[in-house]
Structure 1
Amino acid sequence: MKQGKILITGVAQGLGLGMSRYFLQHNYQVVGVDIDKDALTRLDDAGLPGLQLVHLDVSEETSVQALSRLIERQFGQIDGIINNAAISQPHHEPLAQLPLSHWQRVLAVNLTGPMLISKHVAPLLKPGGSIINIASTRAHQSEPDSEAYAAAKGGLIALTHAMAISLGPDVRVNVISPGWIDVSRLQPTPMEPVPSRHDHGQHPAGRVGDADDVAALARFLLSDEASFITGQEYIIDGGMSKRMIYPDGATAD
């Protein structure tokens, strides 16, 4: 028995692919969009039942409008939206050499994209429907040379509570901010190192996260059990953002 119909952006690899598989395994129908044609073709060849794929740049409003019309024709209404599409490489040149084009592209995909998807697809949500944005713990803490990514993810958290107020009470809007999520097995080519024993051990939870951890939280936030939750951020990082870290030999006051 199908539990619902949802839209997931950035579906063809990484966290989006992991979440899509999770929701399909839990009897959801998924409309999945991505800009990567080759990755979409590989996913289409897998023949996953209940998954419909659309090639789309989430930062292009006319394309998002066409997606909304497609969803309305085929499904009428849907239950939820997961705004996951992003340029996920956080690092760039030093700030003094940061190209304006890179800054603008990251904000267009990572921040404007979720706004456009929500603007044009939220009217198709059933009463009680839910939007979930995928931000990052990098909205709160940074490494050098990650301004564009951090700014976009921080903006997405603010966009979340703004939309929660604007779209409530019929639609709830929340944001999940993952920490280290191991997606190395969900990429067409190795793009990230496989976590080491040390990487797992430094997390208070004892391990690095995986896509199912994020998907399970998203599934709860989509459900009626979360009907009193809106405008909130959920950090899912194995406790890392709460751990005090000092240089070797330093101690807390």
Structure 2
Amino acid sequence: MSKNIVLVGGSSGIGLKLAELLKEQHSLTIISRTDPELTGVTHHTADITSDELPELDDPIDGLVYLPGSINLKPFKMLREDNFRDDFEINLLGAVKAIKKFEQNLKDSGNASVVMFSTVAVQQGLSFHASISAAKGAVEGFIRSMAAEYAPDIRFNAIAPSIVDTPLAKNLLRNEKQKKRSEERHPMRRIGEPKDIAAAAKFLLSDESSWMTGQIIHIDGGLSSIKQM
């Protein structure tokens, strides 16, 4: 069954792959700073941190919040502004979008909201203090919102490890860095956008209609497996 789905973000990386998976079957609206130039998709140009979001008249069956950050530094090099910036892009932008489209989501009667956390919230990784704090807030927000809006709106999040996207390009600058990252994961590879997009597609579907308040770990086993 065709759904009305809104992607906040979606012009590159995981968002673009998700848009490609969804656009043939669903009515898709993308709100992002740059046009993904996909046929059959409605695009509105907006920066979630500074611009007003567009008015949408139809019910929204699925809302995916994709903007994020990877700000990895030793704690002594992090400024308070770094924490504020990560909190704004990872959580407050989502709050802004959900408040804007709350009635559209309610009008669906069976809406799904999908957000993104990180493996670093559960695993505990050096140099991740700022992003882990922001994404930890995302996980708490997801569970609270799931409780408050059940059964009308479902809230779930995906917690990936590193994925080969433009956002992670500074961490995967060369083959040596990429190889080192691959070897840290039990599955011996880093994530690909399709790995995460497929999970997001599932959370938007009717097949996941009994799931809410969940943090789904798609991380190559990093959060739950330790090999000897």
TM-score bucket of the superposed structures, by smaller chain: 0.7 to 0.9
Alignment of 1:128-143 (within 5 A): 128-143=110-125
Same amino acid, percent of matched pairs: 26
**Aligned position for 1:56:** 46
Which of 11, 31, 34 in structure 1 is aligned with 2:32? 34
CA–CA separation in structure 1 for the residues paired with 2:98 and 2:3? 18
* Residue type of the alignment partner of 1:52: T
Contact 2:154 2:213 in 1 (8 A): yes
Q: What is the aligned length? A: 223
Which of 91, 103, 108 in structure 2 is aligned with 1:123? 103
CA–CA separation in structure 1 for the residues paired with 2:138 and 2:71? 15
CA–CA separation in structure 2 for the residues paired with 1:146 and 1:241? 15
CA–CA separation in structure 2 for the residues paired with 1:199 and 1:105? 26
1:55: how far off? 2.2
**Aligned position for 1:89:** 70
Deviates more, 1:229-238 or 1:120-129: 120-129
**Segments of 4+ moved more than 6 angstroms:** none
Residue 94 (structure 2) pairs with residue 114 (structure 1): yes
Rg larger in structure: 1
TM-score (norm 1): 0.78
Contact 1:7 1:30 in 2 (8 A): yes
CA–CA separation in structure 2 for the residues paired with 1:240 and 1:100? 29
Deviates more, 1:149-158 or 1:110-119: 110-119
Alignment of 1:230-249 (within 5 A): 230-244=212-226
Q: Secondary structure at the match of 2:112?
A: strand
Which of 206, 209, 220 in structure 1 is aligned with 2:202? 220
**Aligned position for 1:248:** none
Contact 1:23 1:215 in 2 (8 A): no
Q: Which ranges of structure 1 fall in alignment gaps of 5 or more residues?
A: 246-250
Q: Secondary structure at the match of 2:63?
A: strand
CA–CA separation in structure 2 for the residues paired with 1:189 and 1:178? 12
CA–CA separation in structure 2 for the residues paired with 1:145 and 1:133? 23
Deviates more, 1:197-206 or 1:221-230: 197-206
1:141: how far off? 2.6
Residue 129 (structure 2) pairs with residue 147 (structure 1): yes
Residue 193 (structure 2) pairs with residue 205 (structure 1): no
CA–CA separation in structure 2 for the residues paired with 1:188 and 1:198? 18
CA–CA separation in structure 1 for the residues paired with 2:214 and 2:191? 21
Q: Which ranges of structure 2 fall in alignment gaps of 5 or more residues?
A: none
CA–CA separation in structure 2 for the residues paired with 1:190 and 1:218? 22
Residues 1:107 and 1:202: Cα distance change in structure 2 (over 3 Å): closer
CA–CA separation in structure 2 for the residues paired with 1:207 and 1:145? 21
TM-score (norm 2): 0.86
CA–CA separation in structure 1 for the residues paired with 2:226 and 2:215? 21
Contact 2:70 2:168 in 1 (8 A): no
